[in-house]
Amino acid sequence: MGRFLGQFKIKKGDDRGATVVEAAMALPILLLILIAIMELGLAFKDYLTVSYISREGARIGALAGDDPEADCAILRGIGEIVTTGDLQRINRIEIYKSDAAGGQGVTNTAVYKPGQDPTLCTVPADPTDGWTLNSGPWPPTSRQTAVGTNPLDIIGVRVILDRTWVSGLPPFSGGFQVNESTITRIEPEVFD
């Protein structure tokens, strides 16, 4: 019987290095998973940021109505809430007249001037402004804010942010744009 059990005896030292080999095989997969979590988490954070900025801009624009500085009010509000890092990656902000289905009509565009104060925007434009604003196609004074025969205008704010992947490792190489818009009906005038 002793002879029979001796055949199944495991020799010590036969599995030396197995743990190192297993770790070497598992480590790249674990690193790829961690990089993917980080990259997707940062991309989702940028989506949430752009979504928040567009909602806040549309809210401000709806309240500003046909004030001549309505577009500047939107840009000043955005300038107060956005971080410097995100602000420098904003490609442009579009303020547009929307239809009820969300389609984009005439559009005013604004681009941030790097290094300038994002809370400065005036009408007429000043060289110290933090934004270059093109408000020609849909001037704020032409917006329908009075309840009557014509329906109230619907304002939309689209924020476009340039996003590059942090790691640059495939499949996270290159860049893309995070693009989000929000529409809301302009608040009717209560007082003249």
**% of the chain exceeding 90 in pLDDT:** 73
CA-to-CA distance for 84 and 95, rounded, in angstroms?
A: 21
Contacts (Cβ under 8 Å, ≥6 apart) of 166: 38, 39, 42, 172
Cβ-contact 105, 97 below 8 angstroms: yes
Q: Is 76 left (phi over 0), alpha (psi -120 to 50) or beta?
A: alpha
**pLDDT of 14:** 62
CA-to-CA distance for 68 and 7, rounded, in angstroms?
A: 94
Average pLDDT over residues 69-95: 96
Average pLDDT over residues 161-184: 94
Enter the pTM of the model: 0.84
Lowest-pLDDT choice from 12-26, 46-60, 66-80, 132-146: 12-26
Res. 6: pLDDT tops 60: no
Res. 158: pLDDT tops 70: yes
Q: Where are the domains of the chain?
A: 17-185
Secondary structure letter of residue 65 according to DSSP = T
**pLDDT of 135:** 82
- Measured in residues, the chain has a length of 192
Mean pLDDT of the chain: 90
Res. 125: pLDDT tops 60: yes
| Sheet hosting strand 90-98, strand order edge to edge | 131-134, 104-112, 90-98, 154-164, 175-185
Res. 7: pLDDT tops 70: no
Cβ-contact 69, 135 below 8 angstroms: no
